Chain A
């Protein structure tokens, strides 16, 4: 018999703890106020540069792979929102250091889920500027394209799942790094590299590109496919297939990261 009440109680307890970690992370961030403002300015400039780039492109063409100006802005906004939300939730370098230097011991001794705890502590508050910037871009693009309330709901469901896939993928890559390599710098580079590609329609890269960014490095689940919903470019069947893939990946990445974490050996951190 599954103890449903116990599971819910534990979940609520973990969520309260996560909220406390968030408060703590923000207090630390606000100590470095000048730096925080600089990051916010950087985000604004970066999004401005993106707009300039897209503007220049659309002065010489009407569409890229069938995507109009505002549709491409929507894709860029969703890709940026997805990646930066994932960056806010999880900082790969922090978790790798905890494993590599033995700091993970601390998490194992506490009465909380260690994976959840270390993810909570790795919060990267500096990503909030990018999230806000891309959200404004999202609103701007959304005001210039037509979509239904149902499409918005379907978008949100897949987008949240996509962020989960992306965050758990990073945990898997970090644990793989811990097991087989001596640094995790490549994880951030891989995600950055893939992010550049997912700012454009995956169909530009042919079938191999579509498969790669859907299954191998599934950033497309948090960017391209949710954008297809908002721009009316995906059928119901296509949506259900992608949704099923996202659910399967979330489960598989969670199990895989738990399995790989079992190889952790204490370094007396």
Chain B
């Protein structure tokens, strides 16, 4: 399969690039660990050693939630910036001339980073959290959790891809990207959704952004289970399929609008 070996080569390059900037990589690990650590300190002061439940979470469960949610954030794709750079510099024309799919090329560019983060950030933090927070997770819940992690990457990649392709129309898409980042942050990044009023929870539940923080972390801590977990998975799969279809149609329409000088 020579075509697959071409994409495999892009993935190998992606891994090499990721580890070339070692200082940035180490600091990114620290950055992912910093927010949960901060929450540990702040919520430690709020709980004040009392055995109470706040927003459906005990103190240890809340700590576990933040650690897993932020470990999951390391798997989010950031491909929109790279597509916008291609459009702005005109390189997209050269890319489109290559005998490979631009969309798959971007997927293979983005995936090594997520796989490296899965191995060196996500799994160590999740295992550490499971041990220290004494999390007992059943086989089925573990499978649902794994599926959510996969969907987290797919949904984030597709949303980022759509934003990136929008740069064909707007050139600079940093603003749109920031808004989406904030919406994901609101969906369980700042606080678990259960801390918000019920009506806001109901709205957040229907959006794709719950896949980023809340669903995986709440599944891991056992807050999201049973039929609620099943319905969360159905919503995520539906969003992933819809975003995939939209991304493909959007790209095939937008590629005809590409105008570039140089490249």
Chain A interface residues toward B at CB < 8 A = 32, 34-39, 41-42, 45-46, 49, 52-53, 56-57, 60-61, 64-65, 126, 177, 181-183, 185-186, 189-190, 192-193, 196-197, 200, 204-205
- A32 touching B186 by the CB < 8 A rule? no
B185 within 8 Å of A (CB atoms): yes
For the complex, give the distance between the alpha carbons of A196 and B42 in Å.
11
30 contacts between A and B (CB under 8 A): A34-B172, A35-B172, A35-B175, A38-B179, A39-B174, A45-B183, A45-B186, A46-B182, A49-B182, A49-B186, A52-B190, A52-B196, A60-B46, A61-B46, A61-B48, A177-B23, A182-B23, A183-B21, A183-B24, A185-B21, A185-B27, A185-B28, A186-B23, A189-B24, A189-B27, A189-B28, A189-B31, A190-B27, A196-B38, A200-B42
Q: Which residue of B lies closest to A197 (CB)?
A: B38
Note all chain A residues with C-beta closer than 8 A to B48: 61
| Also in contact, A64 and B179, with CB within 8 A (given A183-B23, A190-B27, A193-B30) | no
Q: Which residue of A lies closest to B181 (CB)?
A: A42
Contact residues of B between 157 and 211, Cβ < 8 Å to A? 170-176, 178-179, 181-183, 185-186, 190-191, 195-196
For the complex, give the distance between the alpha carbons of A46 and B178 in Å.
10
For the complex, give the distance between the alpha carbons of A49 and B213 in Å.
15
Note all chain B residues with C-beta closer than 8 A to A41: 175, 179
Note all chain A residues with C-beta closer than 8 A to B55: 56
Q: In the complex, how many angstroms separate the beta carbon of B36 from the nearest chain A beta carbon?
A: 11
For the complex, give the distance between the alpha carbons of A32 and B38 in Å.
36
Query: Per a CB cutoff under 8 Å, which of B26, B173, B185 touches A35?
Result: B173
- A193 touching B34 by the CB < 8 A rule? yes
| Also in contact, A42 and B27, with CB within 8 A (given A60-B54, A197-B38, A205-B41) | no
List 11 extra interface pairs beyond A49-B182, A64-B46, CB under 8 A: A35-B172, A35-B176, A38-B176, A52-B190, A57-B42, A185-B24, A185-B28, A186-B24, A197-B34, A200-B38, A200-B42
Q: In the complex, how many angstroms separate the beta carbon of A265 from the nearest chain B beta carbon?
A: 20
| Also in contact, A204 and B41, with CB within 8 A (given A35-B173, A60-B46, A60-B54) | yes
- B27 touching A186 by the CB < 8 A rule? yes
Q: Which residue of B lies closest to A199 (CB)?
A: B38
Note all chain A residues with C-beta closer than 8 A to B132: none
Most buried by A among B24, B173, B181: B24
For the complex, give the distance between the alpha carbons of A182 and B22 in Å.
9
- B172 touching A42 by the CB < 8 A rule? no
Note all chain B residues with C-beta closer than 8 A to A185: 21, 23-24, 27-28
Query: Per a CB cutoff under 8 Å, which of B20, B21, B45, B190 touches A53?
Result: B190
B15 within 8 Å of A (CB atoms): no
Q: In the complex, how many angstroms separate the beta carbon of A219 from the nearest chain B beta carbon?
A: 13
Note all chain A residues with C-beta closer than 8 A to B34: 193, 196-197
- A182 touching B42 by the CB < 8 A rule? no
For the complex, give the distance between the alpha carbons of A19 and B103 in Å.
43
Q: In the complex, how many angstroms separate the beta carbon of B44 from the nearest chain A beta carbon?
A: 9
Q: In the complex, how many angstroms separate the beta carbon of B204 from the nearest chain A beta carbon?
A: 12
For the complex, give the distance between the alpha carbons of A34 and B24 in Å.
31
Interface size class of B (residues with CB under 8 A): 35 or more
- B35 touching A182 by the CB < 8 A rule? no
- B41 touching A37 by the CB < 8 A rule? no
For the complex, give the distance between the alpha carbons of A38 and B84 in Å.
16
Q: In the complex, how many angstroms separate the beta carbon of B6 from the nearest chain A beta carbon?
A: 27
- B30 touching A189 by the CB < 8 A rule? yes
Query: Per a CB cutoff under 8 Å, which of B21, B41, B179 touches A42?
Result: B179
Q: In the complex, how many angstroms separate the beta carbon of A180 from the nearest chain B beta carbon?
A: 9
Smallest CB-CB A-B distances: 8 pairs: A38-B175, A185-B24, A186-B27, A42-B178, A35-B172, A35-B175, A189-B27, A183-B21
Q: Which residue of A lies closest to B29 (CB)?
A: A189
Bitwise, B82-94 to A at CB < 8 A (1) or not (0) is: 0000000000000
Note all chain B residues with C-beta closer than 8 A to A36: 175
Note all chain A residues with C-beta closer than 8 A to B26: 186
Most buried by B among A35, A41, A205: A35
For the complex, give the distance between the alpha carbons of A177 and B22 in Å.
12
Q: In the complex, how many angstroms separate the beta carbon of B167 from the nearest chain A beta carbon?
A: 10
For the complex, give the distance between the alpha carbons of A204 and B38 in Å.
10
For the complex, give the distance between the alpha carbons of A190 and B34 in Å.
10
- A37 touching B35 by the CB < 8 A rule? no
For the complex, give the distance between the alpha carbons of A60 and B57 in Å.
13
Q: Which residue of B lies closest to A126 (CB)?
A: B174
Note all chain B residues with C-beta closer than 8 A to A37: 175
Q: In the complex, how many angstroms separate the beta carbon of B219 from the nearest chain A beta carbon?
A: 22
For the complex, give the distance between the alpha carbons of A129 and B185 in Å.
19
Note all chain A residues with C-beta closer than 8 A to B31: 189, 192-193
For the complex, give the distance between the alpha carbons of A196 and B39 in Å.
10
Note all chain A residues with C-beta closer than 8 A to B45: 61, 64-65, 204
Note all chain A residues with C-beta closer than 8 A to B38: 196-197, 200
